[in-house]
Structure 1
């Protein structure tokens, strides 16, 4: 049962907190504020007299309060694929009336974990687009941004993510179709394959030519849509960067010259450590022997080294979990991603800014929060610990509010395997000096 009269109506109630996180300053302040009609009002220093009369008081002293988190890379319709390859089946398209309850449940799980917006980057059908509309008005679930079906070369990787194209003409037709849908906030392209873990590299050439990709990106931009691209393997990543793809997703096996070009062109990188980490941590269940596990570890360590370089160089980096990939859960997958990035050497305060303010700026109007300020939506989470010093303390989540509706937070599972949730054991990535370079 909700403890506050204003919980379901969006106010009025007053929040008292001695550690309200300010993403731009990367510091906390003792504040009080009132929530009315789902928005923040009457912001004042915590010690500036008694709270306004009327309404309930939510006392969050000894907590850190911060804006809701943003997971910029998920697959909403997929419960995590099983870790065991023999149990995995290709997702099939089902009627929207069957898909939408699953998507809605997963968006509710995300919000309970403090994730206020998820960006779906590949859907076999249109369930994620239906969720965009539903989530816009339902404060019980996370908001949703979506690309609709991703566009992939027929016969190549991407079948479970979207819609195939045969040539440049059909690729451009797909872009026009989905760019015309007002629910679509980004066009997703799949110009490369995935990492072959047995060989430790991407074994397929890019699926598009430079001219095809450039024409696709230019068309999407002309139609007012940014472009995200699944890109792994240095050749394919460099192809996407050269074409001006706005969001480089994954970016595994990227070299320093390609990263330098990405930074020079002011593009955005989402590293998605979580899915490869799960393969490494749960290698036995995933069917990998010791040699493959060693390659996975090297891939993660090289990725961490590139992350440190990108962060030190001022690259815009986002946190995306790739939830729905084998073993990666929604909500908890983002927590895992942040913990892995912290292990790689990114300070907790930088990560909180990345997953709140930076993400809100990158996604624009899809994410109307990012700071706790007068007039902003009352969308926040409260953690019983200095999460601004250690993101692992997200596990101490206590309260979550979206547009003023406040409910108890619920720590999620990070993965389908308890070993991933366990903080003990060897680190996910080898801690290295900030100047360390990946292996040649």
Structure 2
């Protein structure tokens, strides 16, 4: 599918006004925040004024004077936090209960097609933005670079959505994550993954992804339910080439052996990390490798099970989540940096953005403080993405912010109802007047 065709399809889900698609010059904006969250320090610092010029913050202080002609946004009755970041999303993927990934791929490629898939991805993107997530890192399962086409559509103002850091197809061993198939007449595996065959091919795959616009490389040291694995040499080649081109590498790894090999290869983050030893966690801490735990909250898990033929009792679901909570807190105690990632690709009635917030609730259920959970979705996630302007509100940062009523460092419940969402200096959802109600 061509970029032009995909862009035309995406245009149909734009905001109902023409203002979004036809953006004019951005005014100077002065935001008066009632209480500002310093994401690096991990504390609320009281009332602050934020002067925005274009899509960047120019100044943060107290008692700033609005420049002539500036738009003043009065959030003095609200707390203001940096725009939230979900470091592990799948905008172009939805797997229904009981459905294998091979069936999902067949539906996406053979029944619905790229245009329909792009439209649903754009709808989900808008949901993230309205929930306060102004940036996401989208990690594969997105066809042949549909995530990068959606990223461009959002950047060009065709549709509303968060700032996307996309990977394109994940670099995987034979079979990808699809169930073993004796035949693949419709090339479903190649439609979703870039299968790696040797170190030279691994380097070529990285170059191709970067040439197409990938912001991050996603690799699969292992690809359950397949038993195939990338070799140590292939992983090292991926990381070396990506670093040479200035692009980070995220590794989908669940077993301790695969996690350790990926960490030793030099990846930037481990996604999931379900079965990880303390020794491997210590290695991650020494090397500065982030863990992105993709565990739901109890409330989310209960919602997932509502469609099951037999819904397990609350206590059983809670016990099932305990292993993930234990892993997260072991990582935290051993000094591993934690970045928020929801990995939500199942149908979730409250919406994808609500799922990202729910994942933060899960971190608190595990034992992080609300402040630490909030930092995982701001300061830490911004550092993981490698952009000093993300996850913070200070001079030269992106003008991404969320206004909520109440103190989110005392409890995350205020995040459930953002009163205003601003991305790049533009109000994308809510209004300043909502802070007065």
The match for 1:14 is 30
Among 154, 157, 165, the residue aligned to 2:174: 154
Q: Shift in Å at residue 97 of structure 1?
A: 4.4
Is contact 2:202-2:237 (8 Å) kept?
A: no
Q: 1:373 and 2:394 equivalent?
A: yes
Counterpart selection for 2:209 from 178, 182, 190 = 178
Q: CA–CA distance in 1 between the matches of 2:233 and 2:347? A: 33
Does the alignment pair 1:217 with 2:234? no
Cα drift, residue 268 of structure 1: 1.1
Q: Structure 2 matches for 1:13-412, cutoff 5 A? A: 13-28=29-44, 29-41=46-58, 43-45=60-62, 48=63, 51=66, 54-78=69-93, 80-85=94-99, 89-91=103-105, 92-93=108-109, 96-122=114-140, 123-138=142-157, 140-158=160-178, 159=189, 161-181=192-212, 183-194=213-224, 205=227, 207-274=229-296, 278=300, 282-283=304-305, 285-286=307-308, 294=316, 297-298=318-319, 300-325=321-346, 327=348, 329-365=351-387, 368-409=389-430
Cα deviation digits, residues 234-262 of structure 1 (max 9, x gap)? 22222222322221001112122221222
TM-score (norm: length of structure 2): 0.79
SS of match in other structure, 1:220: helix
TM-score normalized with structure 1 length? 0.78
Q: Report the alpha carbon displacement of residue 401 of structure 1 after superposing the two structures with TM.
A: 0.7
Say which is worse superposed, 99-108 or 239-248, in terms of deviation.
99-108
Alignment CA distance shift 1:99-1:289 (3 Å): closer
The answer on whether the counterparts of 1:84 and 1:287 sit within 8 Å (CA) in structure 2 is no
Assess, with a 3 A threshold, how the Cα gap between structure 1 residues 293 and 121 changes in structure 2: closer, same or farther.
farther
The verdict on how the C-alpha distance between 1:317 and 1:105 changes in structure 2, with shifts beyond 3 A counting, is same
CA distance, structure 2, for counterparts of residue 298 and residue 392 of structure 1: 23
Runs of at least 5 residues in structure 1 that lack an aligned partner in the other structure:
195-202, 411-440
Question: Structure 1 segments of 4 or more deviating over 6 A?
Answer: none
